[in-house]
Structure 1
Amino acid sequence: MIKRCLASLLILISPLAWSSVTDLASLQTQLSQHETVRGDFTQQRHIEMFEQPLSSEGHFTLNKEQGLLWQQETPFPVGLVLTQDKLRQTFAGQQPQVITAKENPMAFYFSHVFLAVFHGDTEALKEQFDIALKTESDQWTIELTPLNAPLNAVFTSITLSGSDNIDQLELLEIRGDKTDISFTNQTHQPEGLTDVEKQQFNF
């Protein structure tokens, strides 16, 4: 269940103005300036035992107050709703599965770390990662190297790159598997959640 949650959480994205990002403090300011971010994703999961990557596509909504909506559309529908203390997954034709932070604290440990990554909470990230920020021309790259268990028992590194927005996310696992996610069509309008989105967070 934890690995399934992690795979579903490889999603989030926030806008960056590259010209304003010179250090971790300015990066955090840029990542936290918008209340809501929406966009599309394409994910490729490279598993060593398979010759071809496992591909999926869909869209997401990230809200600072409420959490994350993650909707995979292909190759089959999967819906994820993540809040600070609850997680709901819905697979096509099945009843939703709901877990809470009390029931599975380890899953929520990982989810909170990933939310900190995408919200640019550098103070929280410094406790978990060695952080390297690089800029070249109009591109930037952030490489996060886990310092402590259980993160360093799962991931070798987490790398984000982009220009005006986060365009790519790579997660490299200790066992050699890799997940690549491309983000497109990011928008911050409307700034608040729609009625439909609010309803999805109500569970």
Structure 2
Amino acid sequence: MMLLLASPFALAQVNTIEELQQQLAQHPIVRGDFKQKRTLAMFDQPLTSTGQFTLDKTHGLLWRQDVPFTVQLVLTKDKLRQTFADQPAQVITAKDNPMAFYFSHIFLAVFHGDTEQLKQQFDMTFKADNGQWTLALTPKAAPLNAVFDSITLGGKSDLERLTLQEIRGDKTDILFSNQSYQPESLTDAEQAQIKF
């Protein structure tokens, strides 16, 4: 059973897409744990990984996988840095690979609950039932509809589940837990990672 820490400022219940947007946008920083399960059509067993994330709405995303091996990912508006274990970091800029950043910006919009930006790229279906909300995103056009069949978000007050269903049959399920909003600014260590 996962422990989910709700914000002391959390809405009692999310019943509309507008309330969801408000709820997900109200904190400048969200930290927590993730468990990711990737099911690939070519493999019998899913690939599972766990780690921690820090989402700073101004500066970007820190994503640290600890299991089964260490990977650090730092995503900002115009740069992506990936480090595997003790290997030298690989840095990609928006200029180097505009398509990677197109997908990265969509991913950040999903995390932020930026429904205005998502509306431009997806048909959206929102449901709220018994204290739980679900937002299903269906890509409208290329290149997203060539990769994803659907992206589904779900939770109570926070984003707790994210499912990426790909056209070719691969699927990624991410569960978020232990979310917190303190401290409300990046630590020195986080700043050193994100401002590269």
TM-score normalised over the length of structure 1:
0.90
Separation of aligned partners in 2, 1:200 and 1:183: 22
Shift of 1:23: 2.1
Name the counterpart of 1:90.
83
Separation of aligned partners in 1, 2:162 and 2:52: 15
Of residues 52, 56, 62 in structure 1, which corresponds to 2:49? 56
Name the count of aligned residue pairs.
Answer: 190
Of residues 40, 48, 53 in structure 2, which corresponds to 1:47? 40
1:148 counterpart = 2:156: no
- Kept in 2, the 8 Å contact 1:17–1:163? The answer is no
Separation of aligned partners in 1, 2:119 and 2:55: 22
Query: One-letter code of the match for 2:45?
Result: Q
- Kept in 2, the 8 Å contact 1:44–1:179? The answer is yes
Of residues 11, 19, 23 in structure 2, which corresponds to 1:26? 19
Q: Deviations over 1:108-138 (max 9, x none)?
A: 0000011111111111111100001101101
- Kept in 1, the 8 Å contact 2:60–2:75? The answer is yes
Query: One-letter code of the match for 2:56?
Result: N
Name the counterpart of 1:3.
none
Of residues 52, 66, 69 in structure 1, which corresponds to 2:62? 69
Query: One-letter code of the match for 1:176?
Result: G
Q: Deviations over 1:150-182 (max 9, x none)?
A: 000000000011112221111100011100111
Query: One-letter code of the match for 2:120?
Result: E
RMSD of aligned residue pairs (Cα, Å): 1.5
1:125 counterpart = 2:105: no
1:165 counterpart = 2:139: no
Name the counterpart of 2:3.
none
SS of the residue corresponding to residue 140 of structure 1 reads strand
1:178 counterpart = 2:178: no
1:112 counterpart = 2:108: no
- Kept in 1, the 8 Å contact 2:149–2:167? The answer is yes
- Kept in 1, the 8 Å contact 2:74–2:82? The answer is yes
Name the counterpart of 1:80.
73
Name the counterpart of 1:194.
187
Query: One-letter code of the match for 2:168?
Result: R
Shift of 1:19: 3.5
Query: One-letter code of the match for 1:168?
Result: R
Separation of aligned partners in 2, 1:135 and 1:172: 21
Gaps of 5+ in 2: 1-5
